[in-house]
């Protein structure tokens, strides 16, 4: 093999000399030499032409349900030099993230970390750690997120009960208490921001109901954190998680999650090990310095750059203030609602107090093909809006203005693009 490699290299150099003699310009062309070299290499699968082209990423207005545009400051933080995931400086950054999550979630829970993974990682972590096979769980389903959590719980062998409403419907505390009383679950799941339907589910009082029935209260705030008020401690939420890529405006790929003492008691006194090693809170709590041990051991290599960016996004939220962030989302959403109604569009959630300020859903206007409208808006305005998801597909179009994107000027851009699509996609496929 060695001899062949030398021969090949020698032959190449001769070939290169010949090229240099016949064509001096080509001789200076490194890509040509590289191509010749590669054509004679021992690998049988050649490098793909597409990957040899320079990376191209267009600028898009991300006005869908996420990811949202990432502010330059957060992007810059993610491009800092990599340090080791077990270096003391990294632990400091992780401690800062933990404090930032305390503020964003309004909690003092020690067991607060960020998952190395997207919102789904936090969903799985919550269920895998607090539920054992055969135990009953109750999942409120009024869009795709309840469906997903039900599937996750089914896969790990839980006995899943569902409380189902059509997309856009919300649950009353009476309905919830009745179902909890009937099924006696160890865990009750609710999405605070049901992004597939654009609904913001009220959560006051539900934590108390869960306590009364000795059930853990798990809440998804992936689409609502920073956009609509949530108070983990005051509202007696036992497990709360979110994602990095929505109102927090960090790149996708990290997901804050917090467990209170009730949740810790349940998850650290189980008879069986959680089905996932990666998401096992016994290890993650040590990696995040939450277990009181002096040494943080290697468990997995955390996404170092993702954590830098998450820290910066939490810093921006802390500088701005939660109340100001909630106020701004509400104000810009109200401005958007007026503009949509002026265009003759119908808001999917009739009660404006139940609308999710970060993701607005409109009913699909009669006589229009929603897919065609979305393609038109992307093509002519470089703007992402989306259709429904899961059970809301074909029912809604979704416009997200969150965090950094939450500005009236952006609402104007979205309204302008929609008006243009309404003019140009009219009744084309109906
Ligand atoms: N829950 C909600 C409410 C969401 O909106 C999303 C993302 N759209 C998720 C969970 C899942 O998050 P991810 O895509 O980051 O896994």
Separation of CA 11 and ligand 1 centre (Å): 56
> Is 398 annotated as contributing to ligand binding?
yes
Residue ranges of alpha helices (H) inside 246-346 are 261-267, 281-287, 304-320, 322-342
Spell out a b/e string for 244-271, using b for 16 or more CB atoms within 10 Å of the CB, else e: bbbbbbbbbbbbbbbbbebbbebbeeee
CB 195 near ligand 1, within 6 Å: yes
Per residue in 112-152, pLDDT (tens digit) is 999 999 999 999 999 999 999 999 999 999 999 999 999 99
**Which residue stretches of the chain have pLDDT < 50?**
1-8, 19, 23, 26-27, 429-430
Separation of CA 355 and ligand 1 centre (Å): 17
221 CA: nearest ligand 1 atom: 3
| pLDDT score of 291 | 96
Separation of CA 193 and ligand 1 centre (Å): 10
Separation of CA 104 and ligand 1 centre (Å): 17
Separation of CA 243 and ligand 1 centre (Å): 7
The backbone region for 368, taken as left when phi is positive above 0, alpha when psi lies in -120 to 50, beta otherwise, is beta
Beta strands in 145-207 (DSSP E): 159-164, 187-191, 193-194, 199-200
Question: pTM (2 decimals)?
Answer: 0.91
Nearest-CA residue for atom 13 of ligand 1: 119
CB 222 near ligand 1, within 6 Å: yes
| pLDDT score of 35 | 66
CB 159 near ligand 1, within 6 Å: no
Separation of CA 144 and ligand 1 centre (Å): 9
Per residue in 220-279, pLDDT (tens digit) is 999 999 999 999 999 999 999 999 999 999 999 999 999 999 999 999 999 999 999 999
123 CA: nearest ligand 1 atom: 10
Nearest-CA residue for atom 11 of ligand 1: 119
Nearest-CA residue for atom 2 of ligand 1: 222
Find all residues with CB under 8 Å of 123, minimum gap 6, and list them: 148, 149, 152, 220, 241
CB 145 near ligand 1, within 6 Å: yes
224 CA: nearest ligand 1 atom: 3
359 CA: nearest ligand 1 atom: 5
d(CA 247, CA 228): 10
Instruction: Give the chain's length.
Output: 430
Nearest-CA residue for atom 1 of ligand 1: 222
CB 118 near ligand 1, within 6 Å: yes
120 CA: nearest ligand 1 atom: 16
CB 66 near ligand 1, within 6 Å: yes
Q: Give the strand order in the sheet containing 111-116.
A: 111-116, 254-259, 239-241, 216-220, 187-191, 136-141, 159-164
CB 250 near ligand 1, within 6 Å: no
């Amino acid at each position: 093999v060695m001899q062949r490699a030398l021969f090949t290299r020698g032959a190449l150099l001769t070939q290169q000399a010949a090229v240099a003699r016949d064509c001096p310009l080509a001789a200076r062309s490194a890509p040509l030499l590289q191509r010749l070299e590669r054509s004679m290499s021992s690998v049988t699968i050649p490098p793909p032409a597409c990957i040899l082209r320079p990376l191209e990423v267009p600028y898009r207005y991300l006005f869908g349900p996420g990811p949202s545009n990432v502010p330059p400051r957060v992007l810059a933080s993610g491009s800092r030099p990599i340090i080791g995931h077990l270096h003391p400086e990294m632990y400091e950054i992780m401690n800062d993230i933990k404090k930032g999550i305390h503020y964003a979630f309004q909690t003092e829970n020690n067991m607060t970390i960020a998952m190395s993974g997207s919102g789904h990682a936090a969903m799985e972590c919550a269920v895998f750690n607090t539920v054992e096979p055969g135990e009953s769980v109750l999942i409120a389903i009024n869009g795709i997120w309840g469906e997903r959590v039900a599937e996750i719980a089914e896969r790990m062998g839980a006995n899943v009960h569902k409380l189902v409403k059509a997309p856009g419907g919300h649950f009353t505390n009476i309905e919830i208490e009745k179902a909890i009383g009937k099924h006696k679950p160890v865990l009750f799941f609710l999405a605070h921001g049901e992004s597939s339907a654009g609904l913001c589910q009220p959560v006051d009082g539900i934590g108390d109901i869960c306590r009364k029935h000795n059930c853990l209260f798990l809440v998804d705030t992936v689409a609502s954190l920073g956009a609509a008020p949530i108070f983990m401690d005051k509202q007696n939420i036992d497990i709360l998680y979110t994602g990095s890529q929505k109102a927090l405006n960090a790149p996708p790929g990290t997901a804050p999650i917090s467990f209170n003492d009730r949740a810790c008691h349940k998850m650290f006194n189980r008879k069986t090990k959680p089905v996932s090693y990666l998401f096992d809170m016994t290890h993650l709590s040590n990696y995040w310095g939450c277990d009181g041990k002096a040494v943080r051991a290697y468990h997995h290599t955390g996404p170092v750059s993702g954590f830098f960016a998450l820290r910066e996004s939490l810093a921006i939220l802390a500088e701005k203030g939660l109340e100001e962030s909630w106020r701004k989302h509400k104000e810009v959403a109200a401005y958007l609602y007026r503009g949509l109604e002026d265009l003759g569009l119908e808001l999917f959630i009739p009660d404006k107090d139940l609308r999710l300020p970060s993701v607005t859903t409109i009913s699909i206007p009669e006589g229009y093909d929603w897919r065609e409208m979305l393609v038109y808006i992307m093509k002519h305005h470089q703007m992402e809006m989306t259709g429904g998801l899961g059970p809301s597909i074909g029912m809604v179009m979704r416009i997200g203005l969150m965090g950094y994107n939450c500005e009236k000027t952006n609402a104007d851009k979205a309204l302008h693009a929609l008006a243009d699509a309404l003019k140009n996609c009219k009744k084309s496929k109906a």
